Structure 1
Amino acid sequence: MISPEEVKEMIEAELPDAQVEVQDLTGTRDHYEVSVVSSSFAGKGLVQQHQMVYGALKQAMSTEAIHALALKTSAPKS
């Protein structure tokens, strides 16, 4: 299992300017909803944005510490 704080820290390590909100959907610390706003997403489509977040969480995803992940990503609004 992985804590919401650890999920947030992993994303922030890859996307330092990101505003990250993590919600544990089931209380089991393996099903998360994550919202990420980052200037790194500017000009990128949703698939690319999600790939960037999955890249940040690669280790947790590959070990099944995170079983399910719902993502909301966007660039900051001007």
Structure 2
Amino acid sequence: YLNETPLKALYLIATHGKPDVKSREKLSPELVDFLDRCLETDVEKRSSAEELLSHTFLTKAESLSTITPLIRAAKKILNKH
């Protein structure tokens, strides 16, 4: 529902359930589990913010500084075209 307004996205989630995650097979099991927990529509089943912040997907993540060289390289490539 990324292309929808926030209000319409809420309506769609309420009427049709959580959106499907595209290309799940390309994602790590940790990310899939994290997204499933974030997108859980049942309040009783949904993880708390504290639980999500301690999820394996986040605790195993590399520091953001490791992505900086990749961003610079991508920008260089884009500027050449």
Shared fold, TM over 0.5: no
Rg larger for: 2
Higher relative contact order (CA 8 A, sep 6+): 1
TM-score normalised over the length of structure 2: 0.26
Q: Tell me which protein shows more helix as a share of its residues.
A: 2
